[in-house]
Structure 1
Amino acid sequence: MTMKAALFVLALFLISVLPASAADTSQVDGTGPARIAELYSDIESFDVTLYSAQPEENLTLEMSLVSPGRETEEVIATQEFSTGSFPANTRVTKVGFWDVRSAERGAYTLKARLLENGQVLSESEYSFVYGSNSAFRLQVDDLVPNSEGITVVLSPNQASLFDIEYMLIDGHDVIYRATTEKASLTSVPEAFSASWGSLLENNKEYAGRVKVQVYSPNRGFIASTENFTARDDADITDIYQDETGASATVLGRSQVPFEGNLVFSVYKVQDTSGQGSSVFVESVRERVPVLLNDDDETVEVAWKERLTEGVYRLEIELIGNDGDVIERRETIIESDLSPSNASEVRPDAGNETSGENDENGIPGFSVAAGVAGISVVFALFRKLH
């Protein structure tokens, strides 16, 4: 082997056994401290994504929005809050909102620091321009979050391919997130939606946020946020009724667990022309099984007595968790059952014959037959003795 060949083999060997550079191994070995993994801000809000290879408890985030000046930076707004606890090897996102009034056009920078007991663990910066005349490829036309989920309407300034991240926010915490990847728009606006996959608390305020990422020609973001108050909600989708009872199918329309009731009320119509009064007959209240969004259950009730001949008005009320009437439906029951027939079919009618079952006797066994049988047995007994 020549000298050049030997040196080449030795070089290949050294490259294969030498460790990677420090830049490639930074916090990859699972032992590094918590760090700021991603940062975003505009003039209205910000989000910061944290990562740690070990569980963390009550770290502190310091956020500062500054406007670079010719000589010194001007601090526009600051926020400081606890991260709470978060598990190891999990990306955790925190969200905050700026209250900048009469913001001036120009460049801004978000400066973020992650601290533990006053010691800086990680810091990062994100710069953006507010009020730029350069048109973005997409724009948010409308954003509607509610107790079911979130819908955003986007319109394109140019044909675009993009990702949408949907966030459900409670305070600073993102408690649920979903993503639509590689969505596209060419020329007309379109609505994009996601359902929440987390339970909500009734009458509590949350925020729904979308963050749109466009890749071309440069990576850029648009974010928009709206607040909403979570409410229990449901619909009556189907009803059935006759002279024996009624049923209603209820469909959940919220991630607030629906724990309401159905009230079925029957009134006999005195004059079918529509001008007459109605006489109350009976009312039945039945609990609806717990429902979430897109769950449905059918609730059935039976009248105490079958409705006799006539026209009846059936009113069905769906009562929410707070006792409020969410929906009211009305329909008609028309019965051709005569009063005599109604009594004949009543299960408790006492029209059994002497040969039928008696709850106090033996089926088909009369008192006279019993006495005669006892007399015969007694006579035989005396004869034998």
Structure 2
Amino acid sequence: MKAVLFLLVLFLISVLPASAADASQVDGTGSARIAELYSDLESFDVTLYSSQPEENLTLEVSLLRPERGNEEVIAEQAFSTGIFPANTMVVKVGFWEIRNAERGAYTLKARLLEQGKVLSESESSFVYGSNSASRLQVDDLVPNSEGITVALSPNQASLFDLEYMLIDGHDVIYSTKTEKASLTSFPEAFSASWGTLLENNKEYTGRVKVRVYSPSRGFIASTENFTARDDAEITDIYQDETGASATVLGRSQVPFEGSLVFSVYELQGTSGSGSSVFVESVRERVPVLLNGDDETVEVAWKERLTEGVYRLEIELFGNNGDVIERRETIIESDLSPSNASEVSPGTGNETPGENGGNGIPGFSVAAGVAGLAMIFALFKKLH
């Protein structure tokens, strides 16, 4: 009987810890949660965190304003969070369209749900139209296909953090930070480049979030939409009677997959205003470029340009076949037609009568053949 009782106690000891662990998971330990909230009357962001991968949770957000002892719902949104990894802070962003906003206090309420079950909820309040001026002011914000630039002016000497965000829908697809930046008395522009590829002709949102440290920690946010475009520019050109080259610099995070067209026209008049006759045109593909990359493209004319003055036109075409840039310059050649006909295709400066330097001067191929024939005849006669 004592042995049976001992075995029963041992069984209960081994089972109870496992039951407690299962209960802690059911109670929400390790599930996704709302870690941080921010809102103004232009935009909001919700920071989510989970110790395990999550998929297709629902985020509900509401903007409320106190009204006679109650809370009036000004705006609300609900959207899927998509897929996000474990142990990573994930930021979701949304935008308000508030018209005729009134001064006063507002509250952002957020709930994170899984199939209707609330996993986490949180709220944050802010004041719109307060008389207390911030130490910093956003004067202008310009995002484009290269990156984002914000102009800030200080009301007082300030120390702050800058977070730059590239947003596609509700997702922050790229972000970078500048920590402990400072302004004393003059406005200044701060910039960051996008570190991710963009899709041509697609609309994105650039957002800057400024964290001010004193007198109390607070935030200022500003957003602006833009359409991503492929872009590049010609930075250097070279030309002569044998060919031409152009250096192209990428100016966008949309991969540039364009081409260059080199066209030559011979000028008939003595001045640049005279008529011109088309000579030839060469099209070359530009290697794929991103912002800050450059490549030099070279072309050679079918024949050297003879004596005269020529107009060289270089056109840079974008991904969609549109002309991004056009440059013109002059080629002046002093190569006479007679010299041009003597030019060897091999080296460009040899004539048919010249020897490569390894033969015997005055010794022709015909003479060599004749000599071999005589030696052969003599050898045959002796035998």
Smaller-chain TM-score bracket: 0.7 to 0.9
Distance 1:180 1:355 in 2: 67
Q: Could you tell me how far 1:344 is from its partner in structure 2?
A: 1.1
The superposition leaves residues 51-74 of structure 1 with CA deviations (integer Å, 9 ceiling, x where unpaired) of: 111111111100111112223211
Q: TM-score, normalised by structure 1?
A: 0.86
1:368 and 1:351, CA in 2 relative to 1: closer, same or farther beyond 3 A? farther
Contact 2:344–2:351 (CA under 8 A) maintained in structure 1: no
Q: CA deviation at 1:378?
A: 3.9
Distance 1:339 1:354, change over 3 A: closer
Q: State how 1:124-273 maps to structure 2 within 5 Å.
A: 124-273=122-271
Partner of 1:290: 288
AA aligned opposite 2:106: Y
Report what 1:379 is aligned to.
Answer: 381
User: 1:47–1:96: 8 Å Cα contact kept in structure 2?
Assistant: yes
Quote the offset at 1:196 in angstroms: 0.4
How far, CA to CA, are the matches of 1:90 and 1:355 in structure 2? Answer: 73
SS in 2 for 1:73: strand
Give the aligned partner of residue 5 of structure 2. Answer: none
Letter in 2 for 1:239: I
Change (3 A) 1:144 1:355: closer
* Superposed structure 1 runs of 4+ greater than 4 Å apart: 348-357
Secondary structure of the equivalent of 2:70? coil
Percent identity over paired residues: 81
Do 2:38 and 2:44's aligned partners in 1 also have CA atoms closer than 8 Å?
yes
Q: Equivalents in 1 of 2:60, 2:86: separation in Å?
A: 21
TM-score, scaled to structure 2: 0.87
Assess, with a 3 A threshold, how the Cα gap between structure 1 residues 174 and 355 changes in structure 2: closer, same or farther.
Answer: closer
Query: What letter is aligned with 2:203?
Result: E
For the 8 Å contact 2:343–2:351, the answer to whether it is kept is no
Distance in 1 (alpha carbons) for counterparts of 2:158 and 2:244: 53
SS in 1 for 2:381: helix
Q: 1:189 to 1:241 in 2, by over 3 A?
A: same
| Equivalence for 2:19 | none
Question: Residue by residue, what CA displacement relative to the aligned partner does 1:226-265 show, whole Å, maximum 9, x if unpaired?
Answer: 0000000011001111111111111100000000001111
Aligned residue identity for 1:72: N
CA distance in 2, matches of 1:351, 1:193: 59
- Change in Cα spacing, 1:373 to 1:351, as seen in structure 2 (3 Å) is farther
| Cα deviation digits, residues 294-328 of structure 1 (max 9, x gap) | 00111111111111111111111110000000000
Q: CA deviation at 1:101?
A: 1.3
Q: Which residue of the partner structure matches residue 61 of structure 2? A: 63
Q: CA deviation at 1:275?
A: 2.6
SS at match of 1:122: strand
In 1, are the aligned partners of 2:344 and 2:352 still within 8 Å (CA)?
no
Partner residue, 2:17: none
The correspondence for 1:85, drawn from 75, 83, 86, is 83
Aligned ranges 1:314-325 → 2 under 5 Å:
314-325=312-323
Where structure 2 has 5 or more consecutive residues not aligned to the other structure, the ranges are 1-23, 359-363
CA contact (8 A) 2:342 2:352 kept: no
**For 2:154 and 2:246, how far apart are their aligned partners in 1?**
44
Relative to 1, partners in 2 of residues 1:379 and 1:275: Cα closer, same or farther, differing over 3 Å? same
SS at match of 1:341: helix
Deviation at 1:99, TM superposition (A): 1.1
Letter in 2 for 1:254: S
Equivalent residue pairs, number: 349
CA distance in 2, matches of 1:284, 1:48: 54
**Conserved 8 A contact 1:31-1:54:** no
Which deviates more from structure 2 when the two are superposed, residues 107-116 or residues 273-282?
A: 273-282
Q: Is the 8 A contact 2:158 2:183 kept in 1?
A: yes
Q: Which amino acid aligns with 2:232?
A: A
d(CA) in 1 for partners of 2:38 and 2:270? 67
Match of 1:72 among 70, 94, 97: 70
Q: 1:112 to 1:295 in 2, by over 3 A?
A: same
- The aligned amino acid for 2:98 is V
Deviating more after overlay: 65-74 vs 148-157: 65-74
Q: Distance in 2 between matches of 1:352 and 1:31?
A: 89
Give the secondary-structure state (helix, strand or coil) at the position aligned to 2:341. Answer: helix
- Whichever residue aligns with residue 219 of structure 1, its letter is R
* 8 Å contact kept, 1:31–1:53: no
User: Distance between the aligned counterparts of 2:84 and 2:189, measured in 1?
Assistant: 33
Deviation of 1:31 after TM superposition, in Å, equals 5.8
Q: What displacement does 1:337 show?
A: 0.6
Query: Structure 1 residues 342 and 159, CA, compared in 2 at 3 Å: closer, same or farther?
Result: same
Structure 1 residue runs of 5 or longer lacking an equivalent are 1-25, 358-362
State the Cα RMSD in Å.
2.2
CA distance in 2, matches of 1:216, 1:130: 19
Distance 1:176 1:198 in 2: 7
Q: Is the 8 A contact 1:355 1:364 kept in 2?
A: no
How far has the Cα of 1:376 moved from its partner? 3.8
State the alpha-carbon separation in 2 of the partners of residues 111 and 120 from structure 1.
13
CA shift at 1:330, angstroms?
0.6
Q: Distance in 2 between matches of 1:297 and 1:150?
A: 25
Instruction: Give the counterpart letter for 2:31 in structure 1.
Output: P
